[in-house]
Structures are given as C-alpha cells and as structure tokens.
C-alpha cells in the first residue's frame, strides 16, 4: 500500500472518540505530516538524486567540434548508413513492375473506356500479395483519396499506380537531398543546395546545351528561387544590364530593368535597403529584386517591396510615405508630357482598394488581405505601371474593339 492510499484512509476515518471534532487547520497539519513522512521514506529508498536522473532517457547529443575529426567521421558514416537503409525500404523497378502486374491481374470490370478499375476488396487483396514495402499504400485513406464518381465504388488503377510512383520519387529525392545536408541538422544551407544543383545539371536533358561557363549563373538562379518562395523565375536581363561587365549592377544599370520606367526614388530605396558592394548590386541581390517584382501578388514579394516603401520604418504606410513615392511618378509624367494627376485622388483610390483596419495607416497584412497589393505597389514605383492602371478602362475597350474586328474578318 503506497503513502497516498494510507493518507486517504487516515483522513477518511471519522473521529468517533470522546474528543471534539478536529478543526480544518488540524486536518491540514495532519495531512502535511503524513505527506512529509511518506515522501521522506520514499525518497530515502533511492540511493541518490543522480541515480534518479539517470532513469530519464537522453534527449540531447552534442555536435562534434571541428577538431573532433573521428567523431565527425563516425557521425557522417552513421548518417550514410541510415540513408542507405531508408533507400532500401523504397520500391525498386522490379517491385514496381510486380505491383503493376498484380493490379492489372485484379482489375474489377467493367472498364471505363480504356481505363482499368479496381474495387476495395481486390485492392486489399493486392496489398496482401504486394509485400511489406507496399503496405503503406494499401489503406482505406489512400483508396478514399482516389475515389471519385465511379458508380461501382472503384478507383483507377493507373491513378493509384501513379500515386505510388510519385511517393517513391519524392522519398528518393528527399534521401538524395539529405546526402547534401553536411551539417546533418535536417535542412540544407545555401551552399548545400548549390552543390546539389551543380551535380544535378549533367543529368538534366533540358540543360544539354548549357555552356559550363554559365553553370554558376544557373545554380545561383535556381537556389535563389528555392530560398525566396519556390516560384517560377523569368530573368534574362542581368548580363545585358551589366554594361561595364564587372559582374555587378549600379543604380543606373538597374534603372534599365523592364520598361525602364521605375522611379529614381524607388531605386534609391532599393540600394539603401538591399545588400550592395561599393554601391553596386550583385547577382543574388538582383535575383531577390526580380523575384519580388515579377511575383507581386505573393506575400513574400509584397513583404520585400513593403520594406522599401516603409521609409520611416514604422511598420505601416501613411499619407506621407505614399506622397513621397508618388511625387516621383508625377515628375516622370511631366518629363514625358503627360497630364498631371492629383495625389489626393490617387491616395483616396489606394485607401479604397486596400480598406485598411486603420483608416490612416496601411500595414503589410492590409495589403495582403486586400488582394490589391500588386496594383498599389505598381502605382507607387513604376510610371508604366501607373499609366496602365490609370488607362485600364480605355485599354479594355480597345482590346474589345480589336477582338470584334478579328471576329468580323
């Protein structure tokens, strides 16, 4: 009987003696005395506190230092063995072929056109015969994922097999990437990913014609895509912009980007906030810049541009910051002989589009939530973008007229 049970019984025993009933304080004191007595007895049964702590499983392992070469080699070898074991757990080509044979053998008629189907009963039969490596794929959850509108309650054999193939390929890719995790921390640093892509280039048929002198540019471009937000990249101007061929871009060289209509005020902010070397931008910084401008609907891109627009570093845009950037648009309009546009009108339009929580401040989250962030930022930094927005109705009408003309012909 443990101390808790003894304590419970002692406290539960009524006081039927001639003495008066115990007070609440007396009961509390007695409870504490009993607890102290049995706790001390229980603790005394342990040899010492350190031995008690030894029963806790180890959960922290220190990484080997740079000078602990043997420990580092041991760690690398153990990781390699682990990844090899994980690789052997994946289906190989022969096992995939056997799986396809079993699925085809157990198809459930009738076929839909040329597509073979299988019901849940036969699905489970194949799972029993396919072997332990396939067990993870033959579950009710997977079957339900692939079940659509078949009136017989079946799934497509081809869709299921493609599902398995994709899973195997994804795991193979992850294992391959893990081999480049030099630090062994479960993530890839920029240098790790660069090594992976560089060694991958010779295996990509699409890059057969790529000269080796451009490998470094391709690797850098691909890595920046991954690290920015994994969106497609459309850049090809860097070498053309670099007029002095020093591998860097000055503010003047960057001003020729796109339609060459970005304001000097905005470009000043780019060179103030972004990492530069002696006042010039390297290729990696350029790629971040391009990614942001080419994907202005994305939150990551809006965050990049918002930081440039937030000249007072307050975490929001107010009338002052909007006017600061739009004055540069107005100046470009004068230079190009365009009619001036009132800032007051533009400011009202921006606040109407965004509808911020605070009627005087626009936060980054306000921009993202409004789904108008790309339009607002374009109005403030690019004359061509502003002109397109300002004449949007006329442009739409012109497009409609051109479409009607084509229909008539």
Q: Where are the domains of the chain?
A: 1-12+33-53, 85-178, 219-394
Of 207, 213, 242, 262, residue with least CA distance to 381 = 262
Q: Do residues 267 and 333 make contact, with C-beta atoms less than 8 angstroms apart? A: no
Of 195, 178, 199, 191, residue with least CA distance to 78 = 178
| pLDDT given for residue 203 in this prediction | 86
| pLDDT given for residue 234 in this prediction | 40
Q: What is the C-alpha separation between 409 and 405, in angstroms, rounded?
A: 6
Place of tokens 């691909």: 222
Hey, what CATH class is 219-394 in? mainly alpha
Along the 409 residues of the chain, how does pLDDT read in single tens digits? 555 565 566 555 555 544 555 677 888 888 888 777 766 666 555 555 556 566 777 777 788 888 888 988 888 888 889 999 999 999 999 999 999 999 999 999 998 888 999 999 999 999 999 999 999 999 999 999 999 888 999 999 999 999 999 999 999 988 988 888 877 777 777 788 888 889 888 888 888 888 888 888 888 888 877 776 543 444 447 667 888 878 889 999 999 888 888 999 999 999 999 878 888 998 888 888 988 998 899 999 999 999 999 999 999 999 999 999 999 999 998 888 888 789 999 999 999 999 999 999 999 999 999 999 999 999 999 988 888 888 776 655 555 554 545 455 4
Per-residue burial over 128-138, b = 16 or more CB atoms within 10 Å of its CB, e = otherwise = eebeeebeebb
Q: What is the C-alpha separation between 286 and 284, in angstroms, rounded?
A: 5
- Name the DSSP class of 58: P
Helix, strand, coil shares of the chain, percent, nearest 5, are 65, 5, 35
Hey, what CATH class is 85-178 in? mainly alpha
Q: Do domains 85-178 and 219-394 have the same CATH topology?
A: yes
Of 305, 297, 303, residue with least CA distance to 372 = 297
Q: What is the C-alpha separation between 375 and 385, in angstroms, rounded?
A: 8
| pLDDT given for residue 232 in this prediction | 41
């Amino acid at each position: 009987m443990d101390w808790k049970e003894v304590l419970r019984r002692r406290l539960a025993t009524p006081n039927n003696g001639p003495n008066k009933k115990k007070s609440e304080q007396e009961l509390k004191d007695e409870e504490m005395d009993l607890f102290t007595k049995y706790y001390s007895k229980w603790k005394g049964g342990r040899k010492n506190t350190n031995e008690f702590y030894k029963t806790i499983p180890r959960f922290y392992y220190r990484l080997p230092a740079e000078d602990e070469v043997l420990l580092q080699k041991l760690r690398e070898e153990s990781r390699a063995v682990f990844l090899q074991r994980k690789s052997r757990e994946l289906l190989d080509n022969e096992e995939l072929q056997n799986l396809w044979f079993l699925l085809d053998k157990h198809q459930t008629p009738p076929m839909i056109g040329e597509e073979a189907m299988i019901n849940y009963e036969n699905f489970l039969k194949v799972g029993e015969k396919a072997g332990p490596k396939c067990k993870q794929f033959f579950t009710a959850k997977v079957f339900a994922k692939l079940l659509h509108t078949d009136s017989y309650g079946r799934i497509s054999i081809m869709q299921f097999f493609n599902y398995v193939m994709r899973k195997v390929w994804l795991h193979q890719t992850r294992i391959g990437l893990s081999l480049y995790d030099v630090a062994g921390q479960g993530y890839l640093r920029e240098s790790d990913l660069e090594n992976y892509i560089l060694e991958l280039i010779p295996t990509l048929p699409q890059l057969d014609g790529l000269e080796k002198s451009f490998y470094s540019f391709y690797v850098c471009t691909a890595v920046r895509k991954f690290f920015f937000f994994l969106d497609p990249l459309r850049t090809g101007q860097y070498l053309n912009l670099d007029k002095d061929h020093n591998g860097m871009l000055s503010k003047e060289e960057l001003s020729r980007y796109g339609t060459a209509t970005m304001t000097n005020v905005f470009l000043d902010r780019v060179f103030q906030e972004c990492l530069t070397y002696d006042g010039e931008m390297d290729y990696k910084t350029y790629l971040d810049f391009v990614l942001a401008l080419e994907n202005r609907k994305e939150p990551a891109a809006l965050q990049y541009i918002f930081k440039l627009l937030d000249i007072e570093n307050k975490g929001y845009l107010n009338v002052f910051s909007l006017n600061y950037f739009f004055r540069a648009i107005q100046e470009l309009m004068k230079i190009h002989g365009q009619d001036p546009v009132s800032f007051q009108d533009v400011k009202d339009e921006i606040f109407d589009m965004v509808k911020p929580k605070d009627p005087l401040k626009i936060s980054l989250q306000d921009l993202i939530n409004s789904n108008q962030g790309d339009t607002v930022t374009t109005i403030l930094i690019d004359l061509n973008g502003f002109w397109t927005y300002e004449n949007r109705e006329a442009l739409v009408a012109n497009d409609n007229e051109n479409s009607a003309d084509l229909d008539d012909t």
